[in-house]
Structure 1
Amino acid sequence: MEDIIPPVDRSLLLKELTRERFLRHTNKAGNDIYVVTAHNAPNVMREIGRLREMAFRDAGGGTGFEADIDRYDTMQEPCRQLIVWNPDAEEIIGGYRYILGNDVRLNADGQPDIATAHLFRFSDKFLRDYLPHTLELGRSFIQPKYQSIKGGAKSLYALDNIWDGLGALTVRHPEIQYFFGKVTMYPSFGSLGRDMILHFLNRHFGDRENLVTPITPLEPDKENLRRIESLFPHSDMKDNYKILNHEIRALGQNIPPLVNAYMNLSGTMKVFGTAINDEFGYVEETGILVTVSDIYSDKRERHIETYAADIKGDLQFDRFGIS
């Protein structure tokens, strides 16, 4: 396990966070969102790698290297880095990395050259009908300082701020019809709570078309499964969610924030099963697909339409009835 690198000098970060890399102001908490790459902002990338490794190690994952930076961050056509920037403290709160599906190249085996390809197999239908219109998301993080309520509004709205950025990307790139990403659970969470959450997700959001499948699927504990199968008697997702939330809290835990965020984004979300990531602290990764046009109206208004309204004079948007 390598020591994590020291913080990157703020003056170097500020030099790279230029006007042309600014995406939008957040709706809450007075933060800014930027999009950079390792090529045009190497110091920001180094700081992102430092903060990601800190956040993931604290949760029980991480790469074990001095910074979480891999070839998908640095290759010729790299993932772009969306970050939430605190202009008061002059520091990164959190972020996501992403790549547009129509920028993804296929490997010799016909599978996409993306970070999730060592965990999941992608069907011909997904590659043909979904990938060209998909934004692949990964490495979601909130730096540890902003994971506590002691951080006030900056912490409270950190994840919401990230969704402001993702919403803006759907406006900037109208070809985006889907978000494809992963939700991560850590071995420290415990198998019973994990299996409850995964059973719930597969029941209400399971992929019935085998669009994407785990290469080595995580199998639930058989004893857990016997207990869980009778736990959710309702057909309605919201009723079963109340039971899930109660049971998880009874275990002294909480449903992971990103799991909640995706579930509260769209009722047509698809879940693709779960794989163990042996390159990232053996965390458990569940594939997720969200259809952008099915995002709930309140989320669409907050994260997408606010940005569309801000730049209405520059672009025309009709996909959400915005003109």
Structure 2
Amino acid sequence: IPISGKVVIVANHPIGSLDGLALLKLVGEVRKDVKVVANEVLSALSPLDDLLLPVDNLGNATVRQNLKAIHGHLHNEGAVIIFPAGEVSRFGPQGIRDRRWNNSFVKIASRTRSPVLPVFVDGRNSVFFYVLSFLARPCSSLWLVHEMFKQSSQTLNIRIGNPVAYQNYASAGREFDHKAKLFRKHVYRLQHNRKLCFEDQEAVAHPEDRYLLRAEIKKCELLGETVDHKSIYLYRYCSDSAVMRELGRLRELSFRAVGEGTGLRRDTDVYDASYEHIVLWDDTELEIVGSYRVGDTRNILNEKGIAGLYSATLFKYNENMRAYLNAGLELGRSFVQLRYQGMRSLDYLWQGIGAYLRSKPEIRYLFGPVSISNDYPEKTKAALVCFYSLYFSSKQVCAEAINPYVPDESVLPAQLFKGLDFKEDFSLLRAFLEESGVVVPVLYKQYTEICEPEGVCIFGFNVDPGFSGCVDGLVLVDIEKLKPRKRKRYLSGE
């Protein structure tokens, strides 16, 4: 069960209202923001009001207000339990199975770009119920209350699958009915560990012990303090580290929220050991707010050669890059926890980068891959790449993408960008992206706004299949060309 982040939990419905109560209890032990889409029976239990999203069923009768409440809960990164059958399972040729699943849950998940967590509830009602269901189905529905109390003191076995990411079910075609059928089949295949219908991803690991984290963090080098009492540390890798495990967990959680990530429980790799990590710490909440992975390329090249650079897995460097590498700092794997975004956290991390640079005056260049989520519609990815290639392409060929991204300009309006005025074209870019409900990725703005003209360049764009198919632009910043205001903020030490 994902411990945080929006998720649509779908399950079969073998017993009745007790299925919803059992899943509420189970999921509620992991996260407190879970709600269940409830029929009129559960909705009558007023003590559960705070846990319910009431609907008559998940058919066409679902009113707009109810759908708005479900969408709102998911947009607030909540968990929603849905029983797509809308009624209890019946006995049939394949045993006790749900009837046709309504496709509303697929529409809800798709419109909110939520992962879907499949759950199989291994339960059944009495033989009498199924006989009654065959002879007089309306009467059997009335009998369900009696069936629920027959389950007293019984154990309900539940199998929980791995989450299915939005991009994995979105690629299964355009028909919502077809996807609903596949999810139904996927859930029942959990019962016997059979081959599943969708490619899934491991649930993100649970958090590390807060006090163990604090003890490890306090041993790190302190780079600075913020005005709101957060601390910036430099963490150096060590084996069996709670900090490294938590960094990997939070990376994966943050990247999945924007359609990226490795699909594993934690986003960690072999490069973590030879890089250093700038960590923003909230001592009040005992939370890692965000982090940047940084690598002094001279040290890495001396110890491991070019293969020691993470960016070399995405781009092939030539000799023209040597001067930049010899005075460079590779940046990557940056994240800020969702709850801390919009609270100057990225700015604080850059203060940490500045403190790091003050101790290494020989470093002149910052470089690294900056991603565009594969969740972005194709035309918006093409627009971003065309715009940043137009204004920031390097005049010198220093790197070649291993898996190049070539924008399909046919999906763009003719002459979207004139190439005559940066601000005018940037306004056109933002307006074009807004039509599709997306914005310019924050790091593209950060890197290109931090320098004077010609202080930043992009060497190319690469598709990373190991990171949910995101598009990475290889960006280089010359810190000698930082704007005076940025230089004062990040490098002066004031």
Which range, TM-score by smaller chain? 0.7 to 0.9
Q: What residue identity is the alignment partner of 1:121?
A: K
Query: Partners of 1:117 and 1:234 in 2: how far apart?
Result: 31
Instruction: Work out the CA distance in 1 between the residues paired with 2:329 and 2:428.
Output: 32
Q: Is the 8 A contact 1:98 1:135 kept in 2?
A: yes
Of 338, 356, 361, the residue aligned with 1:144 is 338
| 1:49 and 2:49 correspond | no
- TM-score scaled by structure 2? 0.56
Q: CA separation in 1, counterparts of 2:464 and 2:215?
A: 36
SS at the partner of 2:224? Answer: strand
Matched, 1:103 2:309: no
Unaligned 5+ runs, structure 2? 1-200
Asked whether the equivalents of residues 317 and 398 of structure 2 are also in contact (C-alpha less than 8 Å), the reply is: yes
Q: What is the 5 A alignment of 1:112-131?
A: 112-127=307-322, 129-131=323-325
1:251 aligns with 2:436: yes
Mapped contact 1:181–1:287 kept (Cα < 8 A)? yes
Structure 1 runs, 4 residues or longer, greater than 4 Å off: none
Who is 1:38 aligned against? 237
Aligned with residue 214 of structure 2, among 4, 14, 19: 14
- The code of the aligned residue for 2:254 comes to A
**Residue 282 of structure 2 corresponds to residue 86 of structure 1:** yes
- Offset from partner CA, 1:40-83 (integer Å, 9 cap, x none): 88111111011001111121121122111111113xxx111111
Separation (CA, whole Å) in 1 of partners of 2:467 and 2:222: 30
What residue identity is the alignment partner of 2:458?
V
Letter in 2 for 1:23: L
Distance 2:365 2:307 in 1: 16
The alignment status of 1:277 with 2:464, answered yes or no, reads yes
Letter in 2 for 1:60: G
User: Which structure has the larger Rg over C-alpha atoms?
Assistant: 2
Aligned positions, number: 292
Say what the alpha-carbon RMSD is for the aligned residues: 1.9
The percent of aligned pairs where both chains have the same amino acid is: 30
Encode CA deviations 1:71-107: one digit per residue, 9 max, x unaligned.
1113xxx111111111221211111101101112379
Query: How far off is 1:7 after superposition?
Result: 0.8
CA distance in structure 2 between the aligned counterparts of 1:246 and 1:30, rounded to whole angstroms: 37
Task: Tell me if structure 2 keeps the 8 A contact 1:7–1:50.
Answer: yes
User: Is the 1:49–1:67 contact (alpha carbons within 8 Å) kept by the matching residues of 2?
Assistant: yes
Alignment-mate amino acid for residue 289 of structure 2: I
Equivalent positions of 1:174-323 (< 5 A) are: 174-225=361-412, 227=413, 230-266=415-451, 267=453, 268-305=455-492, 307=493, 309=494
Structure 1, unaligned stretches of length 5 or more?
148-154, 310-323
Match of 1:209, SS? coil
User: Offset at 1:265?
Assistant: 0.9
State the Cα distance separating 1:182 from its structure 2 match.
Answer: 1.6
Shift of the 208–93 alpha-carbon distance from structure 1 to 2, 3 Å rule, reads: same
AA in 1 matched with 2:229:
G
Aligned counterpart for 1:167 among listed residues 354, 360, 370: 354
SS in 1 for 2:367: strand
Residues 20, 44 of structure 1: alpha-carbon distance in 2 compared, 3 angstrom cutoff: closer
What SS does the corresponding residue of 2:433 show, helix, strand or coil?
helix
Query: In 2, are the aligned partners of 1:84 and 1:161 still within 8 Å (CA)?
Result: yes
SS of 1:104 mapped into structure 2: helix
CA offset at residue 37 of structure 1?
2.0
Deviations 1:118-145 (A, max 9, x none): 2101111212x11011000110111222
The answer (yes or no) to whether the contact 2:399–2:459 under 8 Å persists in 1 is: yes
Moved more, 82-91 or 47-56: 82-91
The higher-RCO structure (CA 8 Å, 6+ apart) is: 1
Distance (whole Å) between structure 1 residues aligned to residue 267 and residue 418 of structure 2: 42
Would the aligned equivalents of 1:8 and 1:43 in 2 still touch at CA under 8 Å? Answer: yes
Name the SS for the 2:486 alignment partner.
helix
Residue 250 of structure 1: how far off its partner (Å)? 2.6
The AA in structure 2 aligned to 1:13 is: L
Q: In structure 2, how many angstroms separate the alpha carbons of the residues matched to 1:234 and 1:282?
A: 29
| Deviation, structure 1 residue 197 | 1.3
